Amino acid sequence: MPTTVPAHGPDAAARLASMADVTASDAALRRFLHGLPGVDAVGLEARAASLGTRSIKTTAKAYAIDLAISMIDLTTLEGADTPGKVRALSAKGVNPDPTDRTTPRVAAICVYPDMVATAKEALGDSGVHVASVATAFPAGRAALPVKLADTADAVAAGADEVDMVIDRGAFLAGRYLKVFEEIKAVREACRRPDGSSAHLKVIFENGELATYDNIRRASWLGMLAGADFIKTSTGKVAVNATPANTLLMLEAVRDFRAATGVQVGVKPAGGIRTSKDAIKFLVLVNETVGDEWLSNEWFRFGASSLLNDLLMQRQKLSTGRYSGPDYVTVD
């Protein structure tokens, strides 16, 4: 196995170039993606369900809760977002539980591109990143120049991370190279004038990809195109992150690292609301790709209400009393 390099590092491009033959043409790419082994759907779901039955208690639970908090991309993606709400969310991300300063910070605040500057200003030098969705989120139905301008805008406003959506229409129509080129173009748009680059998360919208085989193909496609993170969903459709589709993506990043030596992160998003769910995902990570992925550099939760539940569980562990929604913020 080749030595590992991070997807966002300088050496990743050379590793990806070694796979250039499979991405040379639409036909080659289709041959490669359709040549990936089919997914055993029943086996996958059974595996995800059995890993969900692990009992995580006491000190392990306390560790898992703090880890999960530090992995959250605290998200607000509403039409009704105001600068005030973004500032409030940023304050919460930096200091999730004002009554207990030992609570870790979240990983990032995730907002629409026009709110990036507000979030950046509110977060200051706290170390919490600003993530911005881009490329006509959540539908992704816009012309490429519009998507690139959207991305460049977010980066110029100071986004540390960009969450793009793939063109599901093109993907489902089998035009894989179009999707591939688009991801590459967005990746270029993430570049800053000083040569550094905003991290790119690629959202597949698993709920719209219809089959597990498609999710596996999309994962490989995204990673070949240079994704730093692959992300399950926008949170805007009926089916979002499930243990099964996240497990499938974790297997994809594991296999991708084995093949190329490039390590890619995973971000399940949408529908993860309770500490219990979050801990199930952490078990999946640990059992599938191991503890190298157990940090917010490689695994994130896209969530808004999850943080409150984690904080209530944290309060329960430290005081012995069950907490309630009166003791956490509303948003």
Partner 1 sequence: MSDKSEKAEAVRLSVFKTYKLFVGGKFPRSESGRVYEVTDAKGKWLANAPQSSRKDARDAVSAARKAFAGWSGATAYNRGQILYRVAEMLEGRREQFVREVGEAEGLSKSKAAAVVDAAIDRWVWYAGWTDKIAQVVGGANPVAGPYFNLSSPEPTGVVAVVAPQESSFLGLVSVVAPVIATGNTAVVVTSERAPLPALSLGEVLATSDLPGGVVNILSGRTSEVAPTLAAHMDVNALDLAGTVDDAALAKELEIAAADNLKRVLRPQAVDWAAEPGTDRMTAFLETKTVWHPAGAGAASGSAY
Size of residue set near partner 1 by CB under 8 A = 9
Q: Which is nearer to partner 1, 195 or 320 (CB)?
A: 320
Q: Which is nearer to partner 1, 175 or 316 (CB)?
A: 316
Q: Of 231, 277, 280, 309, which is the active-site residue?
A: 231
Annotated active-site residue 267? The verdict is: yes
Minimum gap (Å) between residue 287 Cβ and partner 1: 25
Nearer residue to partner 1 within complex by CB, 130 or 312: 312
Alpha-carbon separation of residue 12 from 87, 131, 221, 264, 268 (angstroms): 35, 22, 15, 10, 23
User: Helix (H, G, I), strand (E, B), or coil: what is residue 161?
Assistant: strand
Cβ pair 238, 46 in contact under 8 A: no
Per CB under 8 A, 84 contacts partner 1: no
Give the nearer residue to partner 1 in terms of CB position, either 63 or 327.
Answer: 327
User: Which tokens sit at 26?
Assistant: 């639409």
98 token code pair: 């004002």
Residue 312: CB minimum distance to partner 1, A:
9
Max Cα-Cα span within the chain? 60
Count of C-beta atoms within a 10 Å radius of residue 255: 17
Residue 53 DSSP symbol: T
> In the bound complex, what is the minimum distance in angstroms from residue 131's beta carbon to partner 1?
31
- 85 tagged catalytic: no
Ranges of H-type helices in the chain:
12-17, 26-35, 41-51, 58-70, 83-94, 116-123, 144-156, 168-172, 176-189, 206-209, 212-224, 243-260, 275-288, 306-319
- Residue 325 CB, nearest approach to partner 1 (Å): 7
Q: Which residues, 293 to 322, sit near partner 1 by CB under 8 A?
A: 315, 320-322
Binding partner 1 (rule: CB under 8 A), the pick from 303, 325, 329, 330 is 325
Given the residues 92, 120, 201, 267, select the one marked as catalytic: 267
Taking CA 244 as the corner, what is the angle to CA 243 and CA 250, rounded to the nearest 5 degrees?
Answer: 85
Residue 95 or 274 with smaller CB distance to partner 1: 274
The minimum distance between CB 276 and partner 1, in angstroms, equals 11
Residues that bind partner 1 (CB under 8 A): 315, 320-327
- The residues that are catalytic are 163, 231, 267
